[in-house]
Amino acid sequence: MNSSNGITACNEMIDSLNDQQRAAVLYTGGPQLIVAGAGSGKTRVILAKIIYFVNKLGVDPRNILAVTFTNKAADEMRERLSPFGIDANIGTFHALSLKILRTHGNYIGIAKAVTVYDEQDQQSVIKHCLRELKDTVHIDSSPATIVEWISNSKDSLKTPADLANEITPCGYLKLYELYEEKLAGHGALDFGDLILKAVALLNKYPDLRRHYQSRYTHILVDEYQDTNTAQAVFLQLLAGDAKHLCVVGDPDQSIYGWRGANIRNIVNFDDYFPSAKLFKLEKNYRSTENILEASNSLISKNVTRHDKRLYTDRKGGTHIVAYRLQTDRQEADKVADIIKELNLRGISFNEMAVFYRVHTLSRLIEETLIQRGIPYAVIGGLPFYQRKEIKDLIAYLRIMVNPADVVSWRRIINTPSRGIGEKSFEKILEFADANGINFLEALGNHERIASLTRKVHDACGVLFALISETAKQFESDAGWAEIVKSFVDNLGYIDHLRKSDTDDIARQRCDNVYAFIDGIDEYSRRSPVADLADFVESIALRAGVDEWNPQDNAVSLMTLHCAKGLEFTVVLLVGMEERLLPYIRDIETADEVEEERRLCYVGITRAKEQCYLFSCARRFSYSRPVMAPASRFLSEIPDTVIQRVQTDTVSYARRYSMSEEPVASDKAYAKMISEFAPGDKVYHYDMGKGTILGGTGMGSKRKLVILFDGDDQPCMVLESYAGLTKLDE
């Protein structure tokens, strides 16, 4: 787009904005905070501001940095700027920090080919740390709990040295220190490190900090209410004098406090940037007046916020309907009834969504939708790149990029089975450590490890040759898809999958492998100058919601945390009971309740036309009835915009027992679905003890997802063939 056309297009876009949006876009007097209500067009404002910078102020797009919280949002922003010919720097905090570390991380001892460990990788490292420390440190916590504590520490910019004089859980500090040693030895970082190390780098080298401040002269940050302490400090280092810093967000949609987000970053923005000017976007373009009246009334009960009130030109609208039902089964039936009825009226399945506070509430909804023949997709479940077969292939690619990545080596060393057991692996690892070489080099020198058997020597030689040759191919002009397909064939991985599972599951896993090959082919064609390290990095930075496809004609099922940023014609929010929403376990603080209220607010404001809220008097948990008072949030919605529907208990009693135990017919139905429930502890004669995570299907086709003790990955088994025994707690 030439200069004249660019200015014309810019003027047209600015003219199309409302007064609040236009004032925010045209302001260039210093740092600014834009408090953007739900559905108020914040992305449009960010785009308009970038276009204004380039076409009216003559800013070089290379000097503009736009930070988002998901890859999906970054891709959408790039796509919407493309017609204007603007190619700015757009990405997530983690992608930006990793880019800086890959370029200048060598200043603090970080190699360009660094591997980024996800949560499963972190837990794997922690398990080995626990084994090493078992004789000196007694820790009862699970690896997941320990990983969460370490991640929260890093999000607060606290290293082991920073925690040395603080009170920490028994043994955690020593474990944190060993964990950091392991990561350094593996040539790896975890997600918390990406920001932590970038902050350390910019703090240590003022010249480098000034380099990035002069490079990114105009910075825009979306979803600022979701930043943690480390991200806020990182932004301050990049912004410098903050002359052209614009952050956009909504305190009323701050729902990630449990993972480190600090709402005070946005509420107290002027503490960090005293000259900041506040703008508010309060006109909503998504929802009807009744939906906004309900959400305004609800969120006004919070204290920690910037006062605002959403309004719309879409006057009136359908009342919100709140159903008070008797059991969760009746709730699931009612949800299915409404979806069926609305679909017959012409509303597509993909325009409807069912939200819940916790994943476990989806089980009964899923079973009911299956019975009714209603297509659905669970969003935020096990993402594609977290599936076992895909993680295996990614591990192989990661060691081609970073041969020191012990976690990946440990994962693939005997997958498919090649006779290299745990003891042989440890001997090779010890040889590598003793000789100061990486694991691949040790594998290539396997003949020098006298304690290995001839079978293991042969397997080491074959694996070394295959990995080395494939890594060289990626440095050639050969097509990536052909390289990976040949590698998978030579590995015998497809045969391995076919022998490892039932026909149906093996077929799905093989299809996933072929889909992965298609994906790497698409990436190589889309990014012709990228190398294998870039591809591995792009996978590490993906989030589960990035894989959601709104074009699929299916009802979306997701947690409220996954729902933020999305919108649907119809929203059905289930489980609106005390201790579920708000979700309170033991301690109830004002901050906790406020965040839960924000979650409810987010759910309601996703609805464009209709919103249904469900609560039930009795919900079954682990086959036991739990009496559930209705959520306090329901009473905070004014009667003028909500229709409250109470179940006819007389007619209900004819179908369901009102006693504390389900009637025989209800038991029979539960048994038909499964004798196991999520959370059940079970024993498998071959795999040992495990925990049921969930399941799909019915009867003889019922499949259970089980995480067995000591495994990093859950597996799926057919309930009818598994021979499981339920264990007492």
| Catalytic residue, candidates 121, 193, 222, 226 | 222
Is cis: bond before 528, omega within 30 of 0?
Answer: no
Instruction: Give CA–CA dist 631/357, Å, rounded.
Output: 12
703 flagged as catalytic = no
Query: In angstroms, how far is CA 642 from the centroid of its own chain?
Result: 33
CA-based radius of gyration for the chain: 27
Query: In angstroms, how far is CA 435 from the centroid of its own chain?
Result: 39
223 flagged as catalytic = yes
| Catalytic residue, candidates 388, 391, 418, 606 | 606
Query: In angstroms, how far is CA 95 from the centroid of its own chain?
Result: 15
Is cis: bond before 678, omega within 30 of 0?
Answer: no
Closest CA to 452 of 414, 477, 426, 491: 426
Residue 642's beta-bridge partner residues?
320
| Catalytic residue, candidates 20, 21, 32, 42 | 42
606 flagged as catalytic = yes
148 flagged as catalytic = no
The strand pair at 681-684 and 725-726 is best described as antiparallel
Q: What is the largest CA-CA distance in the chain?
A: 82
The full 3-state SS of 582-604, as one line of letters, equals CCCCCCCCHHHHHHHHHHHHHHH
Instruction: Give CA–CA dist 522/210, Å, rounded.
Output: 37
For residue 323, count CB atoms less than 10 angstroms from its CB and return exposed for 0-12, middle for 13-18, buried for 19 or more. buried
| Catalytic residue, candidates 223, 250, 328, 367 | 223
222 flagged as catalytic = yes
Four-CA torsion 80, 563, 37, 84, nearest 10 degrees: 0
Query: Is 509 within 8 Å of 501 (Cβ atoms)?
Result: yes
42 flagged as catalytic = yes
Closest CA to 125 of 187, 64, 60, 81: 187
The dihedrals phi and psi of 213, each to the nearest 5 degrees, come to: -65, -35
Query: Is 538 within 8 Å of 98 (Cβ atoms)?
Result: no
Instruction: Give CA–CA dist 517/384, Å, rounded.
Output: 13
Instruction: Give CA–CA dist 290/539, Å, rounded.
Output: 41
| Catalytic residue, candidates 253, 326, 470, 473 | 253
Q: Which residues contact 538 (CB under 8 A, 6 or more apart)?
A: 523
Instruction: Give CA–CA dist 519/59, Å, rounded.
Output: 35
For residue 585, count CB atoms less than 10 angstroms from its CB and return exposed for 0-12, middle for 13-18, buried for 19 or more. exposed
Neighbour tally for 661: CB within 10 Å: 11
Q: Which amino acid is at 24?
A: A
Closest CA to 389 of 560, 551, 516: 516
The full 3-state SS of 699-718, as one line of letters, equals HHHCEEEEEECCCCCCEEEE
204-to-189, 209, 216 alpha-carbon distances in Å: 19, 9, 19
Q: Which helix (H) or strand (E) holds 221?
A: strand 218-221
Q: Looking at the annotation, which residues are catalytic?
A: 42-43, 222-223, 253, 606
